[in-house]
């Protein structure tokens, strides 16, 4: 069911973005999720974006050390500014339960990275919205209140004359 949510194109974009930032290619012949499973690539990624955010990257192959790497990445990403709603659970990646959530987290990280003034890397994810304040003069505001918007509709010249719904009532 969750496999259907996966977007191979988005995963390829995420992989290319990560490879460009960390300066390393993903291991050849290894699936996207398997390359990130140990958390080493993810920790390198956040350390490029926010140097020193993950102090120690565990290179050991023991499962709990690999899951610790992923947990350290998630903690550092949240401190970097990614909302908690965009994070994934460690088991989503480690046990391949929800890889689309992992990709969504990476997209959110790319979006947050674009807001940082010192970020000079490639664009990944949608551009964050910016405030767009509009100032109108008092005359313009008054004119706007006089106009009936098309969404509101109008009832000018509307009557119920000539409307027949069903048969007339027969009174005898």
pLDDT tens-digit map of 11-22: 999 999 999 999
pLDDT tens for each residue of 31-67: 889 999 999 999 999 999 999 999 999 888 898 998 9
Mark out the alpha helices in the chain (DSSP H runs). 8-22, 32-36, 40-49, 63-80, 90-94, 99-115, 138-146
**Whole-number average pLDDT of the chain:** 86
Tokens of 79: 């401190």
**pLDDT at residue 86, rounded to an integer:** 94
Tokens of 149: 């918007």
């Amino acid at each position: 069911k969750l496999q259907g949510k996966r977007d191979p194109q988005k995963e390829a974009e995420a992989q290319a973005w990560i490879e460009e930032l960390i300066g390393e290619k993903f291991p050849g012949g290894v699936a996207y999720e398997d390359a990130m499973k140990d958390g080493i690539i993810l920790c390198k990624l956040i350390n490029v974006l926010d140097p020193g955010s993950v102090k120690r990257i565990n290179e050991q192959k023991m499962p709990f050390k690999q899951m610790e790497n992923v947990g350290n990445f998630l903690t550092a990403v949240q401190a970097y500014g990614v909302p908690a709603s965009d994070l994934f659970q460690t088991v989503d990646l480690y046990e391949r339960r929800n890889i689309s959530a992992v990709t969504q987290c990476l997209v959110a990280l790319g979006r947050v990275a674009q807001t940082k003034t010192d970020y000079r890397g490639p664009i990944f994810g949608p551009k964050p919205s910016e405030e767009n304040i509009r100032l109108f003069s008092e005359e313009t505001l008054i004119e706007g209140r006089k106009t009936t918007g098309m969404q509101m509709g109008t009832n000018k010249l509307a009557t119920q004359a000539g409307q027949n719904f069903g048969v007339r009532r027969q009174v005898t």
